Amino acid sequence: MRSRQRMFAAVMRLLLKCLRLGRRRRFKLVRQAEQLWHYGHLCLRSLLYNSFTNSDVVLDSLFEPVYWLVDHVTRWFGVVFVALVIGLTSSIVAIVYICLLPLILQTYTPAWICWHLAYGHWNLIMIVFHYYMAITTSPGHPPQAKDDLTGVSICRKCIAPKPARTHHCSICNRCVLKMDHHCQAAWLNNCVGHYNHRYFFSFCLFMTMGCIYCSISGWEMFRDAYAAIETYYQTPPPTFSFRQRAFHKSMVYLWVLCSSVALALGALTLWHAALITRGETSIERHINKKERQRLQKKGKVFRNPYSYGSWDNWKLFLGVDMPRHWLTRVLLPSPHLPHGTGLSWDLPPCMTEQRAPLLAI
């Protein structure tokens, strides 16, 4: 009897203990919910009652998840675009070697054969070199310490020194020296900045030249191939072999792709050539336009402080310090660095003419 009473008492104590633990757990969950509620209420109050808050800050906060998603998806698109440009370019080169080159060797004169071999291989080397350098060269980033930097501002996003002509890239999540843009359109998957701007422009230029060369060289064969393809569905069908059909389709593919890229990339190249002539980047183009309009209302004239004249702007951009550099640094692959460090913009050594101070951006 006593053993039963002891067992009953032990069971009751265990039950009471479980009830107390369950009650404590419920109290803990309630406390956590209250803390989350107070935290959310505090965040809402700080958003609504901060004296520095305006409608732009509220909209940026609301759209921050969308910005994050777009930036991360764009990074993956960049990898896909790099693989795509390598695949498309390789396919065009293969068609040229397999289809065009044998016909050139059989039908052209020795002088034209030498010209095609020399120009085609030079253009291909320049495309490969500048594309590789554009995607592998860092555009340049400002140092985190402000000890050696004078007259710089602070980036609001990365809370770090921000020299002149430096801008924050939301995709790279870093500040970039002399940032032009984050390049997806030309399939670099890299920011275009101080140290790789020349590589980017040279790649666009030589790729456009290569596409124009392929389009002009393959025009006659494209016409013949297109006319042959139109006869495929006649009755009776023509007796073309598999190799002939592959040749016809390859020529149409080569001409259509090269002509399309030449038009699109050629327009982009001309746009950047105009910016280089004015001593601007894509971002500075918009900044200077607003500054020009603002000063025009005050009766003043805006002058770009980073422009030294059209010819000198090109020499500065290409790194031409002496006449022989037009051959060794422009017409041949050259990994030379641009003038300056991207932290300050003093007059380059090759330009001895001192200019009057201009209005800053």
Nearest one of 144, 145, 140 to 166, comparing CA atoms: 140
Residue 3 domain-assigned?
no
Reported confidence tier of residue 183, pLDDT bands at 50, 70, 90 = confident
What mean pLDDT is predicted for residues 10-26?
Answer: 58
Bridge partners of 169? Answer: 174
Asked whether residue 54 is domain-assigned, the answer is no
DSSP SS3 for 194? coil
Least confident of 10-24, 194-208, 332-346: 10-24
pLDDT computed for residue 356 by the predictor: 44
Domains in the chain: how many in total?
1
Domain membership of residue 316 (yes or no) is yes
Catalytic positions, written as ranges: 183
Could you tell me the residue range of the domain that residue 128 belongs to? 60-351
Instruction: Reply yes or no on whether the pLDDT at 53 is more than 80.
Output: no
Q: Distance between CA atoms of 136 and 168, rounded to whole angstroms?
A: 20
- The DSSP string of 265-308 is HHHHHHHHHHHHHHT--HHHHHHHHHHHHHHHHTT-----TT--
In a domain, 291, yes or no: yes
Asked whether residue 36 is assigned to any structural domain, the reply reads no
Tell me whether residue 25 is in a domain: no
Average pLDDT of span 186-209: 90
What pTM did the predictor assign? 0.76
Q: Is residue 218 part of a domain?
A: yes
Residue 149: predicted pLDDT: 61
The most distant pair of C-alpha atoms in the chain lies apart, rounded to whole Å, by 121
Identity of the residue numbered 168:
H
* pLDDT reported for residue 81: 81
User: Pick the residue with more confidence: 36 or 46?
Assistant: 36
Name the one residue in this structure whose structure tokens are 């960049």: 78
Q: Is residue 358, in this structure, part of any structural domain at all?
A: no
22 residue type, one letter: G
pLDDT of residue 187: 75
Q: Give the pLDDT confidence score for residue 361 in this predicted structure.
A: 38
Comparing 77 with 89, the larger pLDDT belongs to: 89
| 204 band by pLDDT with thresholds 50, 70 and 90 | very high
Report phi then psi at 266, rounded to 5: -65, -40
Note the pLDDT of residue 333. 95
- Residue 11 and residue 73: Cα distance in Å, rounded? 59
Average pLDDT, the chain: 81
Confidence at 117, pLDDT banded by 50, 70, 90:
very high
Calculate mean pLDDT across residues 229-247.
83
Tokens 């095609």 appear where? 116
